[in-house]
Amino acid sequence: MEERFKKHLQEDISHDFSHQSLILSLLLIGFFLIFSLAPQQIGLYRDSKRVEGHYQKMLHKKIVF
């Protein structure tokens, strides 16, 4: 009886930990993607707006060939 209870308890604990570790892994991957790719996208947006502004200035001054 005691052995069966221990085995059942171990199976429940390992099952719960596997679900928790899967959720934690997905959460960490999500955070990694958000915090690594978002600054790059923000920087690219700023760079493209800066280039667009310089191009518009050059068009206004008729420097474009």
The model's pLDDT over 10-54, given as tens digits with 9 standing for 90+, comes to 888 887 788 888 999 999 999 998 888 888 878 888 888 899 999
pLDDT value of position 47: 87
> What's the first-to-final CA gap in the chain, in angstroms?
89
Handedness of CA 44, 45, 46, 50 (dihedral sign): positive
Higher pLDDT, 3 or 29: 29
| Residue 60 scores a pLDDT above 80 | yes
pLDDT value at 65 more than 70: no
* CB 64 within 8 Å of CB 58: yes
